[in-house]
Structure 1
């Protein structure tokens, strides 16, 4: 279990190894689209009674995630409709925990059972593991970059966004946690975020925020600002938001924003977002912001290379 970051809500539950109901639905959909009537090649070349073991091996170094989603695939594959095509059930054993750092050649887990079933489930299992592990691995790289640059004694969180693949949000946000990051809201209802279009439609940043706070005073709220003038206005509100997002600020303006926050509303968290890359994020982290938001953690992560070797 990951402890999360006490400054932000809803982090700890994502660190637990479990099989959420959304993974069951995801596993069912993934099996249906890939398995169909069975693998023509496997069914033609592998003897019906053959049993064996497939070792899941990391081909590259990274951080493992998606183990529980892979397990959900095998649970769903044991249902009669799928098991009839597969010719039996497969067990996933010897797995490393989500969040484990692996090197090339390390074993991530093993699939055991009828060889026909192991080979037909290979890709669905690997799709879960490689995608989630890619997100976790990329997140870990960002965490390392900000940790190296943050002021001594100050932690800068790496946060994701709602820029997730449809149906994969929980898988991807859990992977961010396994990589050491801190997730933003999971949906539009559990937290509030006043963005630029809300500001435009709502008559200005302060009016938009006040309207949100009046309607939903209980919600954690983050307000996006485009410049220092908007930041000053938001920080001057009697009941300011928990967090302010500094959208496309320069490093210099970010440093000034941190100073303004310290003078006007020291309890408000500041987050940098927009145009951040691994090459430059350290400069922003060094200013003393509390977090950086990186949509690319989920929408642009390359899969971690994990393969299956039949032994």
Structure 2
């Protein structure tokens, strides 16, 4: 999926990562061992199968280190890879390549892991209308690129921040004094441009929401598949239904088959492993 962001949005994050890695005195190993005029051609290789993400960021990392480096992306973000595939070639100063290597691979390995896990979830929902979405359970400071990786894997994004939409969760309901007061407050105070989602974990709560109105989306939290099927029947298309909670690879196909429109999983970002990528001269 094409979800490229402007480089200027990503550059500050990559610049900070490079500054963190270079420390106070820069890459002293490379500066000591490698003659400054040494030129080389390197490759980023996939050592596992997956769906690629982070090539745009890798390119930014190498070019922030040295704008004269010549880069060619052979397998771009959102495309599948297999072991042995060359994702990118980098040609120019060996010192520059080595100094940017770890930051580029840290981003690309992590994000390719997220895209690859997302693609597994999406594959298991084929034949249904359910869309797989991520959550705000992201690494602090990396949300924008982790959510971008979900798009590369064929998934969709939920809220980016607390300011994107009104999402009334169980603690909001408890603090507001119940579902009715919470929805009444939204009706009284919220902009007409703002979408509203409310979380329920029982079918009687869903019935109350449907009776009161005022919600665009209802999140079915930690419900069984039998409960979800009943919720879909009760709803009869009135609002958008989203399933969440304990969404695993072994369960998602059954959840998608219940008829819910969205399935959100924090695991896409908080539990994805890194795909093994290597840079070789």
State the TM-score bracket (shorter-chain normalisation). over 0.9
The alignment's TM-score, normalised by the length of structure 2, stands at 0.94
Tell whether the 8 Å contact from 2:65 to 2:99 is kept in structure 1 after alignment: no
Match in the other structure for 1:7: none
Tell whether the 8 Å contact from 2:62 to 2:97 is kept in structure 1 after alignment: no
Q: C-alpha displacement at 1:47, in angstroms? A: 1.9
Residue segments in structure 1 that go unaligned for 5+ positions in a row: 3-14, 79-87
1:293 equivalent in alignment to 2:270: no
Write out per-residue CA displacement over residues 168-219 of structure 1, whole angstroms, 9 at most, x where no aligned residue: 0000000001101110011111111110011001111132123123322321
Q: Distance in 2 between matches of 1:213 and 1:176?
A: 33
Q: 1:130 aligns with which of 109, 113, 117?
A: 109
Match in the other structure for 1:161: 135
Match in the other structure for 2:93: 114
SS in 1 for 2:212: coil
The alignment's TM-score, normalised by the length of structure 1, stands at 0.85
| 1:260-275 superposed matches below 5 A | 260-262=234-236, 266-275=237-246
Residue segments in structure 2 that go unaligned for 5+ positions in a row: none
Tell whether the 8 Å contact from 2:113 to 2:274 is kept in structure 1 after alignment: yes
Q: C-alpha displacement at 1:95, in angstroms? A: 3.9
Match in the other structure for 2:181: 207
Q: Distance in 2 between matches of 1:297 and 1:213?
A: 33
1:32 equivalent in alignment to 2:19: yes
SS in 1 for 2:218: strand
1:309 equivalent in alignment to 2:280: yes
Q: 1:187 aligns with which of 149, 157, 161?
A: 161
Q: How large is the RMSD of aligned CA atoms in angstroms?
A: 1.6
Q: Distance in 2 between matches of 1:18 and 1:170?
A: 12
| 1:1-311 superposed matches below 5 A | 2=2, 15-21=3-9, 23-36=10-23, 37-78=25-66, 89-147=68-126, 152=127, 154-216=128-190, 217-238=192-213, 240-262=214-236, 266-310=237-281
The alignment of Structure 1 onto Structure 2 pairs a total of residues equal to: 279
Q: Distance in 1 between matches of 2:276 and 2:265?
A: 22
Question: Are the structure 2 counterparts of residues 143 and 20 from structure 1 closer, same or farther at C-alpha, using a change threshold of 3 Å?
Answer: farther
Write out per-residue CA displacement over residues 260-304 of structure 1, whole angstroms, 9 at most, x where no aligned residue: 011xxx141111111121111111111111111100111111011
Q: C-alpha displacement at 1:224, in angstroms? A: 0.3
